Amino acid sequence: MTEYQDILVEIYDVEERQRCRAYFEKYWLAEKDFRSLWLPIMERVFRTEARCLPESMFSQSYLPKLRTNGEIFHGENDLLAFERWMNTVGDSQFVVIENEKIRYEGWLPVRYRYPSDISWPEIISGGSIGSEHVGNGFKDYFVFGNSGRWGLYVSGTFSIKWDNGWFEIGIYGVAEDLVETYDSLLGDVRSLSELGILESDLPQAFRRNYLL
């Protein structure tokens, strides 16, 4: 039985289940491959003892860069910018790993592996279940490439208050020599102050860990 069978049996719409199965067959990251190939990279980039934001999620040698949305990819242009970044850094693959420390009863945590040149139509071809993570409505994910020189933590469970509402965030961790490259290719032009968010409005732990 495949690792993702428990997800498929909960999808009652036949077409949706077939779409999800085809997506999993192409992109699901098997646990043995994760543990042998990707977990060592993950443990180098992230503080795997941390649970979730606002804790410090990255190893000390990776500088945090705040991103003012909590989605993995905010549309096709975001994916294209991300792929330019990976091409510059030297990644041929990247993975998306759901944070298993934040469990949702009845749902298996997902793991995906993608080529660094995947298209937008393809990455969302898994439908509402298979590609749920791309828009990331309410879960937390680790994203990183095979170079091991950066990581992204996106959170659907940690929000910042803004303009009488709330928004989720993402945090990149970047090797020090890549900071200028990050700023030119991926840097979010909207700072907290530009959004009208005061440092005093943020949780103390978040300020301590991420506002350098």
Pairing of strands 93-98, 140-145: antiparallel
49 vs 135: which has the higher pLDDT: 49
- Cα distance from N-terminal residue to C-terminal residue, the chain: 47
In the structure, what pLDDT confidence band is assigned to residue 204 with cuts at 50, 70 and 90? Answer: confident
Distance CA 87, CA 8 (A): 34
Whether the CB-CB separation of 7 and 108 falls below 8 Å is answered with yes
User: How many domains does one find in the chain?
Assistant: 1
Give mean pLDDT, residues 32-52. 96
Range of the domain at 163: 5-210
Give just the sign of the alpha carbon dihedral 109, 172, 135, 122. Answer: negative
Confidence check: pLDDT of 31 > 90? yes
Residue 172, both tokens: 């990149």
Distance CA 10, CA 33 (A): 25
Give mean pLDDT, residues 160-182. 82
Q: What is the pLDDT of residue 1?
A: 57
Q: What is the pLDDT of residue 112?
A: 97
